[in-house]
Amino acid sequence: MPLDDTAPINDRELVLVREIDAPAHVLYRCWTEPELIKQWFAPKPWEVPHAETDLRPGGASLIVMRGPDGTEMPNAGVYLEVIPGKKIVFTDAYTAGWVPTEQPFFTGIVEFHDLGNGRTRYIARARHWTAESKKQHEEMGFHEGWGICADQLAALAKTL
Amino acid sequence: MPLDDTAPINDRELVLVREIDAPAHVLYRCWTEPELIKQWFAPKPWEVPHAETDLRPGGASLIVMRGPDGTEMPNAGVYLEVIPGKKIVFTDAYTAGWVPTEQPFFTGIVEFHDLGNGRTRYIARARHWTAESKKQHEEMGFHEGWGICADQLAALAKTL
């Protein structure tokens, strides 16, 4: 293992790391069960009215976010790799059944490292095909947005 | 199943279909075992001096082709989905461990449909993110190149 396994692998990756007071398997549930996703995935006051998770390589992932003014933002993609309780990889570069999308933006890698005592090191990576996409994601507020959601995730996980 | 399950799904897909006199599991072996890949994967007189196949989602696929003048063309990518004996999905959009590449070109989907009597319907699809890539692939000689290779594949499979 490298000295710092959370450093970005290149200048096209964004990384968020948190230690969370909840077990890895609970965080995994929050990332994969639609009824739980709805409770934390969008930074409030945004909501998640709809979530679908077909947890296999090439299976659809659809999470619709809705803003306070009713604007809906669908996040459609596929899962690339799912290791229950440990890791989830997904991307918007395909829709279900490996159909390439016209605007691939990023690939998400979420890891749940068990620290013992019911605590987890949570690592969320966003990898981009271009430096421009990475910059755009950063300017869209990646760190703030994913950070707020990580707080919401931690708060929900504590109740489970 | 649609009436014609081999039609391109959109204007960014190229498809090659063949009925081959060999069982599906033998064609699958030819696509996945390095020593067999070396015997058919490049249109002769091109050769394949090196092949690696890590047959799992995110696992590396590396097939190096070498021309008569010594020019080497590495084809590096990852497997997205592997169903033994039936289906292989791979792409150059990532290198091993889900690292996005700078020039994603296509996603390959190869299916082996058992027709009984030791025959197989072989469907090879190349799906692209852009119409330009699809056109470029066509102009590089997709149909001729993949066709010659399918002949070489069929000839090898008969000997196994």
Domains in chain A with CATH codes: 15-158 (3.30.530.20)
Nearest to B93 among A57, A93, A102 (CB): A93
Q: Which runs of consecutive H residues, i.e. helices, occur in A89-130? A: none
Nearest to A80 among B98, B101, B128 (CB): B98
ipTM of this predicted complex?
0.92
B35-60 as b/e: b if 16+ CB within 10 A: ebbbbbbbbeebbbeebebeeebbbb
CA distances from B69 to B47, B62, B75 (A): 11, 21, 18
- Beta strand ranges found along B31-95 (DSSP E): 47-53, 60-66, 72-83, 87-91, 94-95
**Residue from B92, B94, B109 to probe the interface with A (highest A Cβ count within 10 Å):** B94
**Residue from A94, A101, A103, A109 to probe the interface with B (highest B Cβ count within 10 Å):** A94
Q: Chain B: give the shortest CA distance to residue A158, in Å.
A: 31
Residue A2 has a pLDDT of 47
Res. B2: pLDDT tops 90: no
Q: Binning pLDDT at 50, 70 and 90, where does residue A25 land?
A: very high
Residue B101 has a pLDDT of 96
Residue B5 has a pLDDT of 72
CB A104 within 8 A of CB A129: yes
- Could you tell me what percent of chain B has a pLDDT over 90? 93
Residue B16 has a pLDDT of 97
CB B81 within 8 A of CB B88: yes
Residue B4 has a pLDDT of 65
Average pLDDT on B94-102 reads: 96
Residue A4 has a pLDDT of 65
Res. B1: pLDDT tops 50: no
Q: Binning pLDDT at 50, 70 and 90, where does residue A1 land?
A: very low
Q: Are strands A60-66 and A72-83 parallel, antiparallel or unpaired?
A: antiparallel
**Nearest of B76, B69, B21, B23 to residue B45 by alpha carbon:** B69
Average pLDDT on A77-98 reads: 97
- Could you tell me what percent of chain A has a pLDDT over 70? 98
Question: In angstroms, rounded to a whole number, what is the distance separating the alpha carbons of residues B81 and A75?
Answer: 22
Neighboring chain B residues of A109 at a CB cutoff of 8 Å: 98
Closest CA in chain B for residue A91:
B98
Choose between B58 and A3: higher pLDDT.
Answer: B58
Q: Chain A: give the shortest CA distance to residue B139, in Å.
A: 20
Choose between B7 and B66: higher pLDDT.
Answer: B66
For the record, the structure tokens of A47 come out as: 């909501």
Average pLDDT on B6-33 reads: 95
Choose between A120 and A103: higher pLDDT.
Answer: A120
Res. B3: pLDDT tops 60: no
